[in-house]
Amino acid sequence: MIGLVYGTPAEISEYLIPHPTIRKISFTGSTRVGKHLAALAGQHMKKATMELGGHAPVLIFDDADLDAAAKELAAAKFRNAGQVCIAPTRFLIQQGVYDAFVEKFTAEVNKLVVGNGLEDGVTMGPMVLGRSVDAIEAFVEDAIAAGAKLTTGGQRLAGNGNFFAPTVLRDVPLSARAMSEEPFGPVALLRPFKDYDEAIAEANRLPYGLAAYAYSRNIATVNALGRDVESGMLTINHIGFGLPETPFGGVKDSGHGTEGGSEAIEAYLETRFVTVAGR
């Protein structure tokens, strides 16, 4: 049975979480709200699964299949107009293939058709709210002011609805707000890196650790990424998230626990020990 409760979120949470009928809390949303709910759950010793915000890094190495990477990542980045917690966000590309990847990725993004998602041929719809468009516009303007270069998009689209053009920014400096704050919209941020250590340092720089992406043909690099990237999920050389049978969750400020796979059921179980002496 599912019960839907409507009203002021804070009032509902502050009533339901302490209530003795509630034994387990699962939340998907922002890190700020998630921390508040997790703290409230902790006060009442309730189990909690938190799937919170992210800022997914993408690592493209100089031995990657650039055509596959550009095509797959363009689709993943702009799915649901970028309003996806695991959307690729910070694209870190090794210097030797940086210009080539920027060109290929921009070409793939330019193939997207924005409009009413119920119409044939449309591949990207609107943003959820008007203020979401305002936020993305502010992120783009800030990045350009900081020195980023626009390769495509960058503006609202005319007409009714909350539409913003699929946007690619290259040479984005770390000082740009979007490099540290989750943009949650149709904006891809691209910047080069020199070597593996620099890429890992940037991938792990933020307190988030939900999802990460990587492309490399070098097996040593692939094995090292699984050890070094601080994220709850990492997909290499394909897009492999969100399958029902696989774990789905983050680490650090992106939360704890998983909403997928057989591991997800563990948070809903209680381990008990019973011992009986036969006499």
The verdict on whether 51 is a catalytic residue reads: yes
The verdict on whether 198 is a catalytic residue reads: no
CA distances from 87 to 58, 80, 175, 183 (A): 10, 9, 21, 10
Handedness of CA 15, 16, 19, 24 (dihedral sign): negative
Give the Cα separation of 69 and 96 in Å (integer): 15
Give the Cα separation of 163 and 114 in Å (integer): 8
Where do we find the tokens 């699984």? Answer: 226
Which of 11, 14, 72, 85 is catalytic? The answer is 85
* Count of beta carbons in the 10 Å neighbourhood of residue 18: 13
* Count of beta carbons in the 10 Å neighbourhood of residue 157: 15
Give the Cα separation of 155 and 166 in Å (integer): 9
Query: How many residues would you count in the chain?
Result: 279
| Edge-to-edge order in the sheet of strand 167-170 | 149-152, 167-170, 187-193, 88-94, 56-60, 211-215, 233-236
Residues recognised as catalytic: 51, 85
